Amino acid sequence: MKQFPQNFLWGASSSAFQIEGGWDEDNKGMTVADYNSFQRAHLQADTKIASDFYHHYEEDIKLFKELGLKAYRFSISWARIIPDGDGEINQAGIDFYNKVINLLLENDIQPLVTLYHFDLPFALAKKYNGWQDRQCITAFRRYAQVCFQAFGDRVKSWQINNEQNLMIRVNERMNMYDVKANEIEKVRAQMDYNMFVAHAFVTNDGHSMVENCQIGPAVSSTMTYPSSNKPEDVWAAQMNDNFKTNYALEMYCFGDYPGYYKKYLRECGIYPKTEPGDAEILKQAKPDFIAVNYYRTLVASYLPVDKTHPIGTRVNDIDFDLYGYFKIEKNPNLTASTYGAQIDPMGLRLVLNAYYRQYRLPLIVTENGLGTPDQLTADDKIHDDYRIDYIRQHISACYDAIEDGVELFGYCPWSVMDLLSSHQGFKKRYGFVYVNRDDHDLKDLRRIKKESFYWYQNVIKHNGL
């Protein structure tokens, strides 16, 4: 029996634009996530209804209780609270999240709240080109303060944003549609920096406004293996982790970019504009924990510059290659999900060990899961033994990490129920609960407990495997 520590937070996760629907109800404003989903609505479901949590939250929270969740990680939609991002406050939005939070607490489920999960209010993208302008820092800080004020008496655990380190790589998530090709990297570097400054301000505000506040970043984690034992490949693998995750963790935890990152920004002529006072704020802000989103590992080899690709030329978005540094390869030793994510439970143990060793902060897994199509049988069942396998192996890796000495206080797989996957809509499902809809057919949105639901229920009941 693999028994977890007492009070271990068994949970599950979601995010506002992927689960809520009600995209323009009760004054909610449009977000960048809405806008992007509408662009591809002919191909897949969009955010308009999603899993319709907005209208089903009572039924859904009952299911969370039945599942046995001790914690539920979800995000607040900024544009539900402040529809245009920095204008009027929308009481109806506050009321909705109050109902959700109160119901969770009545059911002994701890709310773990993310303030910003890929869904910048669209009005801010139009007005300021989003994070490029420091006015977005001011707007985010105000929105966070409104949330601390409204919910801080009951919500004690806050994640400031979800995966800044991944979001920043994807032009559409940052609404970088109109930026000239030769300015993209400069704009990206400025947006990233401004988000770090906002993160620091909000960390400090959370600490001063919310009693017993626990606040920290949620990162998309990477663990990269070298493609060979050539020293330059080992270095390339390290640099891939550094450029995709560690530079961000260093900024959150130590308040400065590490040397290799400053060198890259200078070498490429894209060092962001800073303001007097930033350095102090960045250094002051101290996270209480790190939230780790983990799905897979990567392999990298050294990628030398050539005549057409000078240092710092970036190819692709999420798993980008960087000339002068690294190129992403496939791992022939791992199997992959239907959608290509290489499955690697040992990678989770490695990530948890690496972050704990380096940052010495308590860790919680806030995303981890298998995205696959599920088949509803004629008698209304989902036999998702593949999901059970995946989650069992990853829970086992968490157990090993705890035995290694890592202070891991919770595990919240993705996702609590089926929800909108950004690029595969409702074809790719992650949930413990099936939502009966297809991309373009809403059907009856019925909730059906999958086999994995009963399995995870048992894990929670026995506090382990």
Q: List active site positions.
A: 163, 367
| SS3 state of residue 199 | helix
Residue 163 in contact with ligand BG6, rule: CB under 6 A? yes
Query: CB under 6 A: which stretch of 24-32, 158-166, 302-310, 352-360 binds ligand BG6?
Result: 158-166
Residue 40 near residue 394, CB atoms below 8 Å = no
Q: Are strands 321-322 and 314-315 parallel, antiparallel or unpaired?
A: antiparallel
Compute the distance between CA of residue 244 and CA of residue 250 in angstroms, rounded to an integer: 12
DSSP-derived secondary structure letter, 324? T
Q: Does 423 bind ligand BG6 (CB under 6 A)?
A: yes
Residue 418 binding ligand BG6, by CB under 6 A: no
- The nearest distance, CB 435 to ligand BG6, in angstroms, is 14
How many amino acids of this chain bind ligand BG6 (CB under 6 A)? 14
Helix H or strand E encompassing 157: strand 157-162
Do 202 and 140 touch, CB atoms closer than 8 A?
Answer: yes
Determine the 3-state secondary structure of 321 from DSSP. Answer: strand
Site membership for ligand BG6, residue 44 (CB under 6 A) = no
Q: Map residues 275-304 to x or -, x wherever contact with ligand BG6 holds by CB under 6 A.
A: ------------------x-----------
Q: Which two tokens stand for residue 223?
A: 């663990």
Q: What are the Cα distances from residue 72, in Å, to 95, 276, 398? A: 19, 39, 18
- Nearer to ligand BG6 (CB atom), residue 104 or residue 166: 166
**Using rule CB under 6 A, residue 367 touches ligand BG6:** yes
- Tell the smallest beta-carbon distance from residue 193 to ligand BG6 (Å): 21
Range 197-226, binding ligand BG6 (CB under 6 A):
220
Among 114, 159, 161, 162, interactor with ligand BG6 by CB under 6 A? 162
**Pattern 112-151, binding to ligand BG6, x per CB under 6 A?**
----------------------------------------
Does 342 interact with ligand BG6 (rule: CB under 6 A)? no
**CA-wise closest residue to 220 among 144, 163, 173:** 163
Does residue 421 touch ligand BG6 according to CB under 6 A?
A: yes
Closest CA to 194 of 278, 311, 286: 278
- 15 belongs to the binding site for ligand BG6 (CB under 6 A): yes
249: CB partners within 8 A, 6+ apart = 217, 219, 290, 355, 358, 359
Residues that bind ligand BG6 (CB under 6 A): 15, 18, 162-163, 166, 220, 293, 367, 371, 414, 421-423, 428
